[in-house]
Amino acid sequence: MSKLVLSTLPHTWLIDIDGTMLEHNGHKAEGDKLLPNVKAFWSQIASQDIIVLLSARTSSETAETLDFLKSAGLRFDHVLFNLPTGERILINDNKPSGLKTAISINLTRDQGFSDVELIIDENL
């Protein structure tokens, strides 16, 4: 179980689509399939948080992908398509208080968010 301990400050979420939210390569076969615990996890994301989705899907798959995400009831603010399939690297600075402002979790492909526990710590 990955414990994601966050402050009460607003957050920016960078979340990959395929293999994390949706079954990997489902869009190239029989359509998209939501992975386990995605909706439950999404419901814990504060409304003031910004959600940026990332995908190597091509621009030609944009409308279909966005329609599926909306029909699944998953909110998002931005989606970046046509990204490379390699590593996604986040670089940020620590706040003077010591709060780490870059966090990364690598999920097992197609397992969804079942192994992630979101904890908001008012002491951070």
**Is the per-residue pLDDT at 98 higher than 60?**
yes
| pLDDT band (50, 70, 90) for residue 68 | very high
Residues 6+ away with beta carbon under 8 Å from 47: none
Q: 31-53, pLDDT tens digit by residue?
A: 899 999 999 999 999 999 999 99
CA pair distance 61, 84, nearest whole angstrom: 15
- pTM of the complete model: 0.91
Average pLDDT (75-88) is 96
Is residue 112 within 8 A of residue 22, CB to CB? The reply is no
Angle, CA 20 vertex, CA 118 and CA 112 arms, to 5°: 60
CATH of domain 2-120: 3.40.50
> What strands, in cross-sheet order, belong to the sheet with 12-16?
12-16, 50-54, 78-80
Question: Quick one: how far is CA 87 from the chain centroid?
Answer: 15
Over residues 84-108, the mean pLDDT reads 92
The structural domains of the chain, with segments of one domain joined by +, span: 2-120
